[in-house]
Structure 1
């Protein structure tokens, strides 16, 4: 049975949700219809198009190449339709309801939480549910509206908006450097106490050291004297004079300004190209409560000094 014009939009929505969520059952829950209805909609869409859009088994769905192409075009079509509706109704929409946010522990505590009073003052109808968790998440599966995460994630169902660069430096306390000396080349690190970060998943963060040929070498830290599971703890340990640590500029900026940390081996260290991004599921129509939160966070975080320190300005803080 081929679909008439009135059936095509429900069928496209069923297909998009099934592709994003990985099953007809999950799509059905999102659309508040039965799994059988989702299956019927997708089958009718395939019959109308004359191609198979996805291969399905009892456990998984896999898009065909034609399905992947159609998914991109279907998103654009639904986006255009919803934009037309949204442009008329947005001015009457109320910014209210719950916004569920996932964020890393350190960034959330230091940068997100302080913004909440101003956000609530601007939009008193918002209710916020925030999970502070450094583990990898699946936004669609786990039901989050927004996430603040480090690194660009390539996922067609996720939109990523850049918040700030996540540059790193090697740093130590002046008191430590007075006692142990300032390293002048990479090999000097073998004679210094090193502070490492090993996350709870067992992965250790390596130091981005540049070889003379311009290549990036990552052998350090070697046999660290102290290992911690959180980057912000490495900053605190360095401030206390326990050794040299690779730390994020935004975590260490206030200590650099207060002369509690100094940058070492600046010419041998690569700042990196990772970013903090604000992410939200690719939806044709973003709820006013979500869009208002996105706009507010991007605006406020863009004005936060420690998140946007120019690399050139760090030269003043070298040991």
Structure 2
């Protein structure tokens, strides 16, 4: 029988895509992980990885072994963790990735109550506008929208991402009549958004309850790739902006921004809390997921951020 350390090094390397990432997850050096995998290959007489300077690729034999030993090894590790936590309160470092403005506005205010319930958990939260590789980067969970999730992830919907057109009240109080149809937007300066992944300026199609659809065709006055910066520019009266409701809602509630074309919106999918689909999650992850879902439901987040 192969030593568990060798099998674990192989599985972690295959799932994370590198010896370095596997080493971080296991608390070893990359050299130690590489040596464990090499010993496993020598013992089996099978090459498991095609190695390059930048990545690891599973061979056909490696794919077969991963399919056979990956799930049982994960289940074994989860069972050990679960047994160790059974008689204890949830504890440990809780590593979560979330968007910068979204995390500050909606997650940080929940911290006091969360820490009162679970004082042995230490949040280690990363505020970054990207979807992380939970397993490869060692995260317990992530929160975001527009996600491309692997089959080994579970997503819990927190609310919709509805895009709406907003402006500073002063911008609409001039001589010009406020827009009444999306076609009217072509006469107004806009704060455009550049997509971080594609580098292109986003094109938004608005819809109304009657089922009509129309594109947003503002004149780009400034271009940003961050919705928080767009929100700030809109507050300064630099133009109209198409913003996700989670960013715009606090300013709309205070009256610092107002809806333009309130009967129109675009649906950009859900905001989700995602985490690995393990049968036995670590207690710290399980209670965090339940707590966030409960709090977002209690506070009516989904209704507050609807644009329809």
Which category describes the TM-score, using the shorter chain as reference length?
0.7 to 0.9
Aligned length: 300
The aligned counterpart of 1:292 is 287
* Residue ranges of structure 2 left out of the alignment (5+ in a row): none
* Structure 2 residue 186 is matched with structure 1 residue 187: no
Is this contact kept in 2: 1:209–1:216, CA < 8 A? yes
Tell me: CA distance 1:82–1:171, structure 2 relative to 1, closer, same or farther (3 Å): same
Q: State which drifts further: 227-236 or 111-120.
A: 227-236
Q: SS in structure 1 opposite 2:143?
A: strand
User: Is the contact between residue 103 and residue 132 of structure 1 (CA under 8 Å) also seen in structure 2?
Assistant: yes
Is residue 263 from structure 1 mapped to residue 254 from structure 2 by the alignment?
A: no
Aligned 1:66-85 pairs, distance under 5 A: 67-68=62-63, 70-72=65-67, 74-82=69-77, 84-85=79-80
Tell me what 2:36 maps to. Answer: 37
Aligned to 1:249: 245
Contact 1:206/1:218 (CA < 8 Å) preserved in 2? no
How far apart in 2 are the matches of 1:247 and 1:29?
37
Task: With the length of structure 2 as denominator, give the TM-score of the two structures.
Answer: 0.77
Q: Cα 1:227–1:55, aligned 2, differ >3 Å: closer, same or farther?
A: closer
Q: Secondary structure at the match of 2:109?
A: helix
Cα deviations across residues 41-69 of structure 1 (Å, max 9, x unaligned)? Answer: 3554x55xxx7654334543212456446
User: For residues 283 and 12 of structure 1, do their structure 2 counterparts lie closer, same or farther at Cα, with a shift above 3 Å needed?
Assistant: farther
- Equivalent position SS for 2:66: helix
Conserved in 2, the CA contact under 8 Å of 1:56 and 1:62? Answer: yes
How do 1:91-170 residues align onto structure 2 when only pairs under 5 Å count? 91-135=86-130, 137-155=132-150, 158-170=153-165
Aligned-pair distance for 1:97? Answer: 2.4
Q: Provide the residue aligned with 1:272 in structure 2.
A: 268
Distance 2:239 2:53 in 1: 54
Residues 75, 173 of structure 1: CA spacing in aligned structure 2 closer, same or farther, 3 A cutoff? Answer: same
Over 3 Å counting, the alpha-carbon distance change for 1:70 and 1:149 in structure 2 is: farther
CA distance in 2, matches of 1:66, 1:266: 57
Query: What is the distance in 2 between the residues matched to 1:226 and 1:25?
Result: 41
Secondary structure at the aligned position of 2:298 is classed as coil
Please tell me the root mean square deviation across aligned C-alpha atoms, in Å: 3.7
1:14 is matched with which residue: 3, 9, 13? 9
Q: What is the distance in 1 between the residues matched to 2:215 and 2:64?
A: 40
The reply to whether residue 235 of structure 1 matches residue 231 of structure 2 is: yes
Q: Is the 8 A contact 2:182 2:216 kept in 1?
A: no
- Contiguous gaps of at least 5 residues in structure 1: none
Say whether the 8 Å CA contact 2:189–2:221 is kept in structure 1: yes
Equivalents in 1 of 2:207, 2:300: separation in Å? 31
- Structure 1 window deviating more from structure 2 (196-205 vs 106-115): it is 196-205
Higher strand share: 2
2:132·2:142 contact (CA, 8 Å) conserved in 1? no
* Superposed CA offset, 1:10-55 (max 9, x none): 55423220112223454355435623223223554x55xxx76543
Compared with structure 1, are the counterparts of its residues 25 and 168 closer, same or farther at alpha carbon in structure 2 (3 Å cutoff)? closer
